[in-house]
Amino acid sequence: MSSPGRAKALVFSLIGVSVLAGLTVALLGIYGQGIFPKKDQNGWHDPRLSYVKTPSLDELRATFIPDTCFDSFDLAWSSGKDGQIYANTAPFFVKGISWFGCEGHGYTFTGLNFTTVDTILNFFLQHKFNTVRIPVSVAFGLAPKDFKPNQRFVGKGLKGKTIWEILDEVIDQAALRGLMVMLDMHTLGPQDATDLWYDEQYKEADILQAWSNIMAAYSIKWNVFALDLKNEPHGIATWGVSAPQTDYNKFYERAIAHIHTQFPNWKGLYMVEGVQYNKETDKVTDYPFWWGGNFGGAIQHPIYVPVPEVMNRVVYSPHVYGPDVYDHPYMNVPAAELANELVKVWDSQMGWLIPKLQKGMIIGEWGGSLKGRDEIVQTELAKWLVKNCMANNVWWAINPESSDTGGIMAWNWKTYDKRRLDLVDSIFPDPTQFGIKHSKLCLRFGTYPNPQCPVQPFHSPEVATPQKLRH
């Protein structure tokens, strides 16, 4: 990596992924660990992976037993001072997963030339994910409504559809399953991980217009509940240094005001990420930060929105990774000391976020291959998040094409790595779940993994009448 942060190079979403994936599977083994695939009745198969066998939507719905239902699909979201997320005053425990591709050169989700939208979303629901994070780009948001993806990236059920129609399909099908959607402005141009929210080609007006176009299409979708305003600020990005050209906190405030002015009826969450570096007076630790992980400047300069109801929907969202993404020096201590060293790092970088900032927190990205030291880091991180009441998280990613972390799915999108699912499950074995029952939007509360964390109990809000339904 060229910088001690997150530099996603999703190069395999380019044309030719099918050929490259096939060669990789057949010749090197799915994850290149020196174990060659074996042949069974389904063809070549890595014995460490499990086959995707998803129940039907009707079968999945039959297992949903809600604790309460609402009179309306119009949810009011809020960011709690206790660090948690609330929907109609009910705690919502985020167990999320990223499904990327719309931000890339293909302009649509990867994997759709191997499998179907229904299969992937049923897989999410089967494994108790409740949130799908969808990265997009400014280029996507500015694309005309008739723009079509390269047809090599989609299966026969989606042939001829535009990029917007495919995104419509995913969001609508997610809604049928009670899956919430988090839209993430991941890049400016396709796969263009810039320091700032603008560059020579795309200006601030462009990213705001992209958000306008996206929200014109999706602000009316009940399950679009969060906007990640700009992915992973880094490099020259600053926070609270009175530098209008680089201060992300001021951009976030302008972006929130822009979106709220145009879409005042949308009641979802505004997610803001940190930077990588900051001024010395805001220094909270000597350990290097991940891209999007440094909120030191927010202690003196928190996000401020003059509309209290909107201010109540701001969420801070750090990203944190392991040596697969960048091998920081603190990860190279002797193995016996690594766990303690990691706790020192995370305590200094994230342990103060909730008490200092008093806003909801969602770990917007974490993940890795679980090979070697990465397995130690990810396992210890999962424990730390639960212990420190920061369990709301989004795993990167379902896609196998991420060049540093890999994904839960294998290259053929027919097998998956159960170890990664088990690790995510260790944080939230019983997350919140939305579902539709008797044409009503219903909620199963779930259980926060750490009973010592201050989670506010559900109480009947004015915007919706809870009704007990257990069938």
pLDDT one-digit tens code per residue, 426-445: 999 999 999 999 999 999 99
DSSP E strand boundaries for 230-319: 269-272, 314-316
Tokens at 3, concatenated? 């910088």
Q: Match 């399950």 to its residue by tokens.
A: 223
**Helix, coil or strand: residue 164:** helix
CB distance 179 to 121 below 8 Å:
yes
- What pLDDT does 397 receive? 98
Q: Shortest CA distance to 46 belongs to which of 457, 398, 325, 409?
A: 409
- Mean residue pLDDT of the chain comes to 89
Residue 18 has pLDDT above 70, yes or no: no
CA distance 114 to 123: 14
CA distance 439 to 31: 44
Q: Shortest CA distance to 84 belongs to which of 385, 289, 466?
A: 385
CB distance 239 to 283 below 8 Å:
no
CA distance 314 to 443: 23
CA 408 to chain CA centroid, nearest Å: 14
Tokens at 248, concatenated? 């992300």
Maximum distance among all alpha carbons in the chain? 63
Mean predicted confidence (pLDDT) in 15-25: 40
Residue 468 has pLDDT above 70, yes or no: no
User: What is the identity of the amino acid at 232?
Assistant: E
Residue 1 has pLDDT above 70, yes or no: no
Q: Match 């206790």 to its residue by tokens.
A: 82
CA angle 376, 350, 352 (to 5 degrees): 140
Residue 170 has pLDDT above 80, yes or no: yes
Residue 22 has pLDDT above 60, yes or no: no
Q: For 32-43, how does the pLDDT look when each residue is reduced to its tens digit (9 = 90+)?
A: 333 344 544 444
- Under the banding of pLDDT at 50, 70 and 90, the label for residue 463 is very low
| Domains along the chain with CATH numbers | 75-428 (3.20.20.80)
Q: For 3-17, how does the pLDDT look when each residue is reduced to its tens digit (9 = 90+)?
A: 444 444 443 333 344
CB distance 37 to 414 below 8 Å:
no
Q: Please name the residues in contact with 76: beta carbons below 8 A apart, sequence gap of 6 or more.
A: 87, 88, 267, 461, 463
